[in-house]
């Protein structure tokens, strides 16, 4: 009996011990189950398919213990590692304007008003280094990309050890000096993600810890071994690479770039693939690394292929009793998110003054600053055109230190513009621009226009914001202008113009400026026809002019704007000797007003009303200061010219001119526009009789336009009641 009791006690004790052991095992799940690692390959836009796979992994509750990625895989993996769900990443991807994001473009509203004219007129721009003109290190510097990463990871700016993220993470880059793969598992997360995706020739490389880094896909596009070294036991791999293409399939520069990367990383990929337990390859062969506009369908393709792996993933979950740990969800920041900024530190300033940068940043210290206001400040600093890159980092718990990292733009640049139009024929613009000469925040520019109508202009500008700045200009213009009568061309003459101009001005919120100035103007007309009414008894003269001006430009784009307005108003006094005009006891007065406003009726349709007015007071007004109406070019070489659709350039002469115009702009499809241009004008000799006297003129035009990389390509058909028949007009390239 005692023996039976002893055996029973022993059995019960054994069962109790086993139950305790099981409970102990359950309480230590990290030691009881294998660790799951997720590897995401690079592949440009095709990497969006990763998100679809992650959506299925989230829905099944599969825990991910480690993440490694390259290029686009590194970006998506980085966001997932800090707590973004697959659905959050999907929303972020679909909400982006990828054309703008994958460029260094900044909204015109952040560009100082004196820079707006130059903002969209060059097709090529090169830095001038001590050894001469050099090509940039990449087509895109990555300004908008790094700003997006910094915004979306703002709560993890302080975390420099990626193993301590909610999910330990690493990404791969390539050291351009040694050609070796670099594992990025520490540092500044947004910069590491940016380095991993720096596709050579397209994106500029990134310097981290003294190494110049580019896209990791060149060496290791499927970092499985690195994931195993982190501690992963089971590897789920998602591969969006195209693989090696045949010569018949290499049809574009993107195909060739992708092929180059694939060949370089091929051996590494084959080796890594051996260690992958679950290999998922979405069916996306018809897409390219540049298919950013197909994000929605790529995500769907990833989700579709992952659904075929549901039984495999569920078997894995059941076999190891996998349960997803409840991680703290990362709440994406929004424009209204605020941060208490105690101080600002700036890294990278050499020639540009701290006061200029701080003034552009326009943030109040020791106060809560919204993310929207912070981003606007960063955009204003970058839009100043003094920097190639401006990024930021937040450090601290409750009270933040804002660290602004800048890379100063090369102070010397060589720029090239190309243009053709029916009035002026072909032209090449050569420009050199120097910054911070004599004074920080200054800009010295030289323009040489090579054409039938050559032009030279040099400008020195000092920007002091609201404090008065300085602008000095010297210009020479040799132009051929035609004389008309009853719509028929009678003759051509050379119109030479020389100007020296000095003004002081103030700038308000980047889009407004006002100021006072004076200039000396010299006019010379040469023609073998001496009977033209256009010519005065003298064919040359010079004048001293004093003026005041107001300038406003808030258009979202220089060409085909959909929002914003522009206004330029000027009043000037014209004299021969500095005090009066010959034959008069007082100087002549000239007032000029140009107003344009873009009204967006829908996403595709914009109404663009415009007004041009020029009024001259006084007797014995020189012909040089009369108003000449006609032409649709967008240059402002002469402020005596009034644009008018349907007439030749400067076709009609009058003392005063008023033009009322409305453009009806419809975007047929991306960057292709059909524009109906209507205008009516009144030419008046005496402004006091403008309501009862004068001649009305009318015109209409229809323009088809394509907004290309080299500028607008336009073809117009026009009609005016002052001419017989329909005329045409062609314009190619940016105006300058």
Which of 138, 148, 207 has the alpha carbon at shortest distance from 176? 207
Cβ–Cβ < 8 Å for 529, 493: yes
Cβ–Cβ < 8 Å for 153, 78: yes
d(CA 676, CA 724): 20
Cβ–Cβ < 8 Å for 449, 416: no
Residues pairing with 431 in the sheet:
415, 447
Which of 717, 712, 714 has the alpha carbon at shortest distance from 700? 717
Task: Enumerate residues 6+ apart whose C-beta is below 8 A from 343.
Answer: 365, 401, 402
Furthest-apart CA atoms within the chain: distance in Å: 144
Whether 215 is a known active-site residue: answer yes
Task: Enumerate residues 6+ apart whose C-beta is below 8 A from 547.
Answer: 503, 516, 517, 518, 519, 570, 571, 572, 573
Which of 664, 632, 659 has the alpha carbon at shortest distance from 562? 664
d(CA 284, CA 267): 22
Whether 71 is a known active-site residue: answer yes
d(CA 21, CA 27): 10
Start-to-end C-alpha separation, the chain: 111
**DSSP conformation letters of 193-258:** HHHHT--TEEEPPEEETTEEEEEGGGT-SS-HHHHHHHT-SEEEEE-----PPPGGG--SHHHHHH
d(CA 145, CA 168): 23
Q: State the DSSP code for 644.
A: B
Element (H, E) at 372: helix 371-383
Among 71, 262, 513, 554, which one carries the catalytic annotation?
71
d(CA 237, CA 280): 6
Among 65, 88, 118, 215, which one carries the catalytic annotation?
215
Angle at 111 between CA 108 and CA 113, to 5 degrees: 100
Strand boundaries in 386-441, DSSP class E: 387-395, 399-408, 412-421, 425-435
d(CA 677, CA 685): 26
Cβ–Cβ < 8 Å for 733, 429: no
Helix, strand, or coil here: 130?
Answer: coil
Residues pairing with 148 in the sheet:
none
Task: Enumerate residues 6+ apart whose C-beta is below 8 A from 1.
Answer: none
Q: Is 2 exposed, middle or buried (0-12, 13-18, 19+ CB in 10 A)?
A: exposed
Catalytic residues: 71, 215
């Amino acid at each position: 009996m005692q023996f039976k009791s002893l055996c029973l006690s022993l059995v019960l004790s054994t069962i109790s011990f086993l139950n305790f052991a099981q409970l102990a095992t359950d309480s230590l799940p990290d030691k009881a189950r294998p660790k799951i690692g997720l590897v995401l390959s690079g592949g440009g836009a095709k990497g969006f398919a990763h998100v679809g796979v992650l959506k299925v992994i989230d829905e099944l509750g599969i825990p991910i213990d480690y993440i490694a990625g390259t290029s686009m895989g590194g970006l998506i993996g980085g966001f997932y590692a800090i707590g973004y769900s697959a659905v959050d990443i999907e929303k972020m991807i679909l909400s982006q304007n990828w054309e703008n994001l994958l460029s260094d473009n900044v909204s015109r509203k952040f560009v100082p008003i004196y820079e707006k004219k130059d903002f969209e007129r060059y097709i090529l721009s090169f830095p001038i280094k001590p050894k001469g003109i050099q090509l940039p290190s990449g087509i895109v510097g990555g300004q908008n990309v790094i700003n997006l990463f910094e915004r979306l990871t703002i709560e993890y700016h302080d975390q420099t050890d990626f193993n301590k993220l909610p999910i330990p993470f690493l990404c791969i880059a390539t050291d351009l000096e040694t050609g070796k793969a670099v594992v990025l598992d520490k540092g500044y997360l947004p910069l590491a993600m940016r380095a991993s995706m720096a596709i050579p020739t397209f994106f500029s490389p990134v310097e981290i810890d003294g190494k110049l880094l580019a896209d990791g896909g060149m060496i290791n596009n499927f970092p499985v071994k690195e994931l195993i070294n982190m501690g992963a036991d089971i590897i789920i791999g998602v591969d969006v690479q195209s693989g090696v293409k045949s010569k018949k399939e290499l049809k574009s520069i993107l195909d060739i770039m992708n092929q180059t990367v694939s060949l370089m990383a091929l051996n590494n990929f084959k080796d890594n693939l051996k260690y992958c337990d679950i290999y998922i390859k979405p069916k996306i062969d018809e897409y390219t690394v540049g298919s950013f506009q197909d994000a929605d369908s790529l995500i769907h393709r990833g989700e579709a292929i992952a659904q075929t792996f549901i039984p495999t993933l569920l078997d894995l979950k059941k076999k190891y009793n996998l349960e997803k740990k409840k991680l703290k969800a990362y709440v994406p920041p929004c424009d209204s998110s605020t941060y208490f900024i105690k101080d600002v530190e700036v890294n990278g300033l050499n020639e540009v003054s701290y006061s200029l940068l701080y003034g552009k940043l326009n943030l109040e210290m020791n106060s809560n600053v919204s993310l929207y206001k912070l981003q606007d400040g960063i955009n204003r600093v970058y839009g100043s055109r003094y920097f190639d890159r401006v990024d930021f980092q937040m450090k601290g718990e409750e009270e933040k230190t804002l660290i602004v990292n800048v890379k100063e733009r090369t102070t010397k640049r060589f720029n090239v513009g190309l243009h053709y139009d029916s009035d002026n024929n072909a032209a090449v613009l050569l420009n050199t621009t120097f910054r911070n000469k004599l004074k920080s925040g200054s800009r010295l520019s030289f323009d040489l226009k090579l054409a039938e109508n050559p032009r030279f202009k040099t400008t020195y500008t000092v920007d002091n914001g609201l404090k008065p700045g300085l602008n000095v200009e010297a210009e020479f213009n040799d132009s051929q202008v035609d004389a008309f009568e009853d719509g028929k061309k009678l003759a051509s003459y050379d119109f030479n113009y020389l100007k020296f101009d000095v003004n002081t001005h103030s700038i308000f919120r980047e889009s407004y400026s006002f100021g006072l100035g004076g200039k000396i103007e010299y006019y010379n007309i040469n023609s073998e026809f001496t009977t033209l009414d256009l010519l005065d008894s003298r064919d040359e003269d010079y004048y001293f002019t004093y003026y005041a001006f107001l300038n406003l430009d808030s258009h979202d784009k220089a060409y085909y704007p959909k929002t914003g307005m522009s206004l330029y108003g000027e009043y000037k006094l014209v004299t021969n000797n500095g005090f009066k005009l010959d034959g008069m006891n007082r100087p002549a007065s000239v007032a000029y007003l140009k107003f344009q406003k873009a009204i967006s009726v829908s996403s595709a349709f914009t109404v663009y009303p415009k007004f041009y007015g020029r009024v001259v007071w006084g007797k014995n007004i020189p012909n040089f200061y009369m108003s000449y109406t006609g032409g649709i070019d967008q240059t402002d070489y002469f402020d005596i010219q009034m644009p008018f659709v349907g007439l030749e350039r400067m076709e009609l002469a009058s003392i005063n001119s008023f033009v009322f115009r409305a453009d009806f702009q419809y975007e047929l499809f991306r960057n292709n526009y059909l524009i109906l241009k209507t205008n009516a004008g009144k030419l008046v000799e005496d402004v006091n009789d403008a309501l009862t006297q004068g001649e009305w003129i009318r015109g209409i035009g229809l323009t088809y336009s394509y907004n290309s990389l080299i500028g607008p390509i336009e073809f117009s058909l026009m009609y005016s009641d002052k001419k017989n028949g329909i005329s045409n007009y062609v314009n190619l390239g940016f105006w300058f």
